Amino acid sequence: MHLQITPSYLAIKVIWKDDHMFEINVQATNGRYLGTTDVYETSDNLANFARLLLNYKAEKDLIYEAGKKDGYAYFGMKLSPINHSGHISVLINLEENVATEYRDDEKDKLKLEIIVEPHAIDVFQKELLKLAITEEGIATLYGRTD
C-alpha cells in the first residue's frame, strides 16, 4: 500500500470581474477531502478581511464570509487558535454555486479543517490584500503536512 501525502491548502483565485464586483474560485483541501466553489465578492470586503489578518496573533476567532449560506454560493472560513505554539485552525465551508429552488439537498456542501503555522497566515495576508486591491491573481494558504 502506497500512502501519498497531499498538501493541505486554501486557494482563492479571481476568475471574472467588472466595475462593481469580481468572482473568485475557492479551492480547499485538507489532504483527504477537496472542494471548490465560485462566489462573488467586492474589493472592499476582501481587503478589509485581509487587513484583519495583518499581524493576526491567534488569540481570538476571526471569521470571513462571501456569498450567502444556503443561497446561491457560499465560502466561509473561521480562524481559531488551537495551542500555545501558535498553530491555527482554519475551518472552511464551501457551498456549490447552484440555485436551490426545489430542494436544499441538491446543493453540494463541504466543511473541512486545515492547520496552519503563523507564518503561513502572514504570507497569505499579503497575497490576499494584493488580490483584493488589483482584483486579479491568486492567494494560497498552505497548511501543515504532518
**Whether the model pTM is above 0.75:** yes
For residue range 86-129, what is the model confidence (pLDDT) as tens digits? Answer: 899 999 999 987 766 656 667 789 999 999 999 999 999 999 99
Q: Which domains does the chain have, with CATH numbers?
A: 9-142 (2.30.31)
Cell numbers at 76, concatenated:
466561509
CA distance 134 to 146: 34
CA distance 13 to 141: 12
Which is nearest to 13 in space by CA: 31, 38, 49, 34?
38
For residue range 8-32, what is the model confidence (pLDDT) as tens digits? Answer: 999 999 999 999 999 999 999 999 9
- For 5-27, give the secondary structure using H, E and C: CCCCEEEEEEEEECCCCEEEEEE
